[in-house]
Amino acid sequence: MGKPRMIILIRHAQSEGNKNREIHQTVPDHRVKLTAEGWKQAEAAGLKLRSLLRPDDTLHFFTSPYRRTRETTEGILNALTRSNPTPSHFQRQTIKVYEEPRLREQDFGNFQPGSQEMARMWAERAEYVCIRLLIGQRHDGYRAVNQKEIANVRPIQGHFFYRIPNGESAADAYDRVSGFNDTLWRSFDGDDFASVCVLVTHGLMTRVFLMKWYHFSVEYFEDLRNVDHCEFVVMKKSKENEKYILQNKLRTWSQLRKEKAEMREPESPIPVRKKWVGHQDGNDVDYHMRQAQRKNTADMFADDDIQQIEQLNMRGETDKAQGTVIMPL
């Protein structure tokens, strides 16, 4: 049949590790199972997949061998082939399912350490990228980076080059996904390849797959937010040139920050003085008692943040109270 008309990537449903990270201290990552809510999400994904398919479609599934992805695949297949709420055009025995180890999750080590050590590692991981993002905004060769700025950038979790101790970096995962993509592309030449290809994998692996396929830059990859549980990322083949067109608008951290900034109401730099209209009974004896003490112009427009910024930007100085480090570009 050649190239499938559609490639669909699906992140696994909610797992016990998503609900309680402490479980990774006693259960290997590949053995973490779905929650009850996760099974519901998987079956809902199966019904959604059915709505996207044509009656004559054929299916090939490639799934990560981790338990949560295999259970997600089973939940999808159960809902897809079940004749409820309406008769299904798809039979379980006609759907090919392959376990693909190269689609497994980023390796975090055999067992993850306790919460305190994990928090330290995530902070180190955040600083690894956020310092690179923050520096370079001044023209004098130095950039003040304080701990508050680092904390504000921590939601950016797509650190491509940071390698987990005893584990992998996203760059390592990219290498094995690249090999899988090449294998998948060669399999399109077979006459028996399905019309729809479904990949059930993990959040980071979905983004890495798209990065390889569409040649995303490292900066764009690091800006991408994670996909939701059982979210569909759909790639449709163009009839004109047979290239795959991404149907989703990917969510980014920069867009989220922009939206939040637009939602904030701008504050006027000049305070508005309220007009006194007096009491209803005409008694204004306590008027001056209820008024705040008038500030002089210097106090009114003083800005502590501006003073702090001026102190932070003094080359070669360190403000220990603010946790500030002056870093050369």
Q: Report the distance separating Cα 116 and Cα 123, nearest Å.
A: 11
Cis peptide before 55 (omega within 30 of 0): no
Strands 244-246 and 232-237: antiparallel
Q: Which of 196, 180, 185, 204 is nearest to 235 (CA)?
A: 196
Ramachandran quadrant class, 2 (left: phi over 0; alpha: psi -120 to 50; beta: rest): left
Contact by Cβ (8 Å): 5, 53: no
Q: Is 324 helix (H, G, I), strand (E, B) or coil?
A: strand
The helix (run of H) or strand (run of E) holding residue 246 is strand 244-246
Q: Which of 19, 107, 21, 29 is nearest to 67 (CA)?
A: 29
- The residues carrying an active-site annotation are 12, 105
- Across the beta sheet with 6-11, the strand order is 96-99, 59-63, 196-201, 6-11, 232-237, 244-246
Residues 6+ apart with CB under 8 A from 172: 106, 107, 163
Ramachandran quadrant class, 264 (left: phi over 0; alpha: psi -120 to 50; beta: rest): beta
**CA 219, chain centre distance (Å):** 14
Q: Which two tokens stand for residue 74?
A: 């089973």
Per-position b or e across 147-171, b if 16+ CB within 10 A of its CB: eebbeebeebbbbbebbbeeebbbe
